[in-house]
Structure 1
Amino acid sequence: MSSTDVSPRPGLLATITEHRFLALLNESENPLSRSDIAQLSGISKPAISDAARRLEDAGVIVTTGIREGRRGGVAALYGINPARGHSVSLAMDSAFVAARSVRLDGTVAFDKTEPLPQDASSDFVIAIASGLLASLEKASPTPLLAAAISVADPVDRITGEIIPMADSVFPAGHFNPVRDLNIEAAEVKIDNDVNWATLAEHRVGAMKGVGDFLYVHLGAGLGAGLFLGGNLQRGARGLAGEIGHLQVQGSEDLTRTLSRLGFGNAARAYGLDLEASRQLLSGPELSPTTREGLDHLAVAIANMVTLLNSSAVVLGGPLAGIAPLENYLSTAIPDLSLDRVDVVLGTRSPLDGASHEAHRMARAGLGF
């Protein structure tokens, strides 16, 4: 007997109906009636009515109002229940810690960023993050359904542990966020900031629907997100895309080369100095030394583009929007690449990527 000859179990049919019911509510900007959902889904009205009853009993949907019909009848309007739960996203960077809470219906309950001093210790970062999460809990007194964490360090893609590196722009982030911040949720994901930003650009940003592109983070640290064949590539352990560690001259990597050419600061053990970099790029004309640094950066990016045959390069991070830098790379990268490539400015942050994924996991845990 073929699989098409097997009738689905009633429970499976009910689950499919509920999934479609919730998906349509989630996609709609306005509340929907059972008649609306039946028409949009092509599922019978009795089946939709049964699904509405089950979902309302489970607290996943609520009645938000009524609609009066032309003949005097009224129809109940449904929406996702924001009180059913929320998701949490946390982004930790060498310059800040940010936290966001999103209710199940997609509305934002909490969104705040706290700056970090340059000499912040791990204990200090943990204290700031814990304080933000405590404030978030007060603003979101509903069940925590899912959490996503972004850190400015590589993350082991199998174990989820942060990979400590001697040359790191965020050594204060070398701790276990889930354990040390007491994050308890049914679903928790942790990844590095560049990967989260890459996913955000693909899902809701400049690269929505694009299957192959390279995301380049330009900040205190340099990193790249490799989006190939419709998927983010993390490598064997999670270190794929560490463009800042590419060798440029002898044993000197790209980050140290740029630091030596004025983009760094002696006070910083490793990484670029954002203020020093902005000053180099703010003059009426770029100096020969600054151009040399940008040439090294453009060559590294173009080599990755040629290797991966990316259709586009997305520039992100705190330095990406500086006009002289953007203009220089937008010209140099295509000229150095083997195939045609577009260079665009990113519109999304690592917190956006983590927030989107946390909300997706929260919905998926409830069947939509």
Structure 2
Amino acid sequence: MTGTTPGTTPGTPSLLRAMNDRAALDLLLVHGPLSRTRIGRLTGLSKPTASQLLARLEARGLVVATGTATGRPGPNAQLYAINPRAAHAAGLDVTPSRILASVADLSGAVVGSCELPNPGPGTPVVDQVGQALGEAVRTAGLQLADVHRLVIATPGSFDPRTGVLRYADHLPGWHSPTLLEELAAALPMPVEYENDVNLAAVAEQRLGAARGHGDFVLLWNEEGLGAALVIGGRLHRGWTGGAGEVGFLPVPGRPLVRHVTRENSGGYQELAGVEVLPGLAAALGIEMPGAVPRVRGAFDAAAEVAAAVALLERAAAEPVGPHLRLLESYATALATGLASLVAVLDPEIVVLSGAVTAAGGDLLRELIEAELGDLAPSRPRLVAGEVRERPVLRGALESALTATRDEVFDTSR
């Protein structure tokens, strides 16, 4: 029956208990430790019913007694909190240069992490994933079997029809048509896959600037330009998973200097990607903060981003003369592609995320917003992303935690 928990009948005591249990657990996640009286007040349950609920959840290992409330008349009230060790979830953030892995407990606290260089196509992907996840689990003092779910973030997306990674030719070794089956066979927990920029949007939606907003666009700007589209509170992925691959978006104009060729790049990437900043700076007589070394004949993407971040931070700190013109030129380039997204989707807000745009600070954001106002019929508010520390990885953890909580918080099972 629609809207019921499997194995229950609408209106039965078991269903009502499960609903009350979930409501109490969600309150503990939001508010932290609560007393029986406070839980009863927030849920509308009587004191005896709230006491039975807490006893039931404590017996299942989902809540623990955690001290007492002080500073009020009468006996100190016992406080209860989510048992953080009741379950764990993991996330991986994979790029061509490195793999980040983290494990979070049921409360959302990160308890183990690691960062490994991406060894490239010479090492099987299953081994790469296993090594990174295993190290993060080890630092958390856990076993792989303790992880209930894993979410892996990659550039591009896995085509839901074929299971093959698309839009990410620069991630070698990840394009085997049997890769997902190999990972499923090698790992002891359910595994989900999601585009990296989509997961940055999940982080902002759950924890950051997009909380409470049902329709928004997130524009990501680091090694590449990408977008996440959230409509009615849900990610829009598209037929092949390629919605938001805005680097391919045709736009008018070209950068002053195109100093690097990227596979699968398009007009917007060539106009406003990180690779255009050295040319913009050179045209204005600004020296780049650092040289970008070549690796195997190609530019080092991480060094390229670091140099761009330093350049924009310096320009934002001294926004006069050539520095101001640099910010204005870059804002125009970014707004040119963004205008197409805004014209089609008419979002409530646009979240600017990624280290490159963030380096330009509020001034760059205001310049983009002003330029966008002249280019697009609607004028959404532009906001800076608030999840600054590894937003893609945080989004992977949040996605894995949501599914894990749905499973372990269902006391009707």
For normalisation by structure 2, the TM-score amounts to: 0.73
Distance 2:91 2:109 in 1: 14
Residue 115 of structure 1, CA deviation: 4.6
Q: Counterpart of 2:386? A: 347
CA contact (8 A) 2:218 2:353 kept: yes
CA contact (8 A) 2:151 2:191 kept: yes
Q: Counterpart of 1:336? A: 375
Quick check: 1:216 aligned with 2:246? no
Distance 1:287 1:15 in 2: 58
CA distance 1:328–1:277, shift in 2 (3 Å): farther
Q: Counterpart of 1:3? A: none
Amino acid at match of 1:134: G
CA contact (8 A) 1:223 1:243 kept: yes
Quick check: 1:171 aligned with 2:204? no
Q: Counterpart of 1:206? A: 209
Residue 223 of structure 1, CA deviation: 0.9
Q: Counterpart of 2:104? A: 102
User: Which one of 344, 360, 363 corresponds to residue 402 of structure 2?
Assistant: 360
Q: Counterpart of 2:86? A: 84
CA contact (8 A) 1:92 1:150 kept: yes
Distance 1:42 1:279 in 2: 54
For this pair of structures, how many residues does the alignment match? 356
Question: Secondary structure in 2 aligned to 1:65?
Answer: strand
Distance 2:181 2:110 in 1: 22
Residue 169 of structure 1, CA deviation: 3.7
Question: Secondary structure in 2 aligned to 1:301?
Answer: helix
Q: Which moved more, 1:305-314 or 1:122-131?
A: 122-131
Q: Counterpart of 1:319? A: 356
Q: Counterpart of 1:155? A: 158
CA distance 1:271–1:214, shift in 2 (3 Å): farther
Residue 327 of structure 1, CA deviation: 5.7
CA contact (8 A) 1:148 1:188 kept: yes
Distance 1:154 1:210 in 2: 24
User: Which one of 34, 37, 47 corresponds to residue 36 of structure 2?
Assistant: 34
Residue 130 of structure 1, CA deviation: 2.9
Amino acid at match of 1:136: A
Q: Counterpart of 1:183? A: 187
Quick check: 1:268 aligned with 2:298? yes
Q: Counterpart of 1:254? A: 268
CA distance 1:14–1:160, shift in 2 (3 Å): farther
Distance 1:285 1:54 in 2: 66
**Which whole-Å deviations, capped at 9, do the CAs of 1:175-207 have from their partners, x for residues lacking one?**
64684383332x532100011111221221112
Q: Counterpart of 1:305? A: 342
Amino acid at match of 2:233: G
**Which whole-Å deviations, capped at 9, do the CAs of 1:5-35 have from their partners, x for residues lacking one?**
x9821211221222222222222222x3333
Residue 276 of structure 1, CA deviation: 6.2
Residue 215 of structure 1, CA deviation: 1.0
Residue 103 of structure 1, CA deviation: 1.0
CA distance 1:231–1:366, shift in 2 (3 Å): same
Distance 2:210 2:56 in 1: 38
Quick check: 1:141 aligned with 2:142? yes
Distance 2:88 2:382 in 1: 36
Q: Counterpart of 1:50? A: 52
Distance 1:122 1:160 in 2: 24
CA distance 1:356–1:149, shift in 2 (3 Å): same
Amino acid at match of 1:204: L
User: Which one of 223, 231, 246 corresponds to residue 234 of structure 2?
Assistant: 231
Residue 234 of structure 1, CA deviation: 0.9
Distance 1:271 1:65 in 2: 49
CA distance 1:335–1:94, shift in 2 (3 Å): farther
Residue 126 of structure 1, CA deviation: 5.5
CA contact (8 A) 1:67 1:76 kept: yes
Amino acid at match of 1:254: Y
Residue 355 of structure 1, CA deviation: 1.3
Amino acid at match of 1:87: A
RMSD: 3.7
Question: Secondary structure in 1 aligned to 2:379?
Answer: coil
Distance 1:240 1:199 in 2: 15
Residue 295 of structure 1, CA deviation: 4.3
Residue 107 of structure 1, CA deviation: 2.5
Question: Secondary structure in 2 aligned to 1:170?
Answer: coil
Q: Counterpart of 2:258? A: none
Distance 1:235 1:280 in 2: 35
CA distance 1:327–1:95, shift in 2 (3 Å): farther
CA distance 1:279–1:50, shift in 2 (3 Å): closer
| Runs of 5+ unmatched residues, structure 2 | 1-8, 254-264, 280-291, 316-320
| Runs of 5+ unmatched residues, structure 1 | 1-5
Distance 1:292 1:346 in 2: 22
Q: Counterpart of 2:257? A: none
CA contact (8 A) 1:94 1:152 kept: no
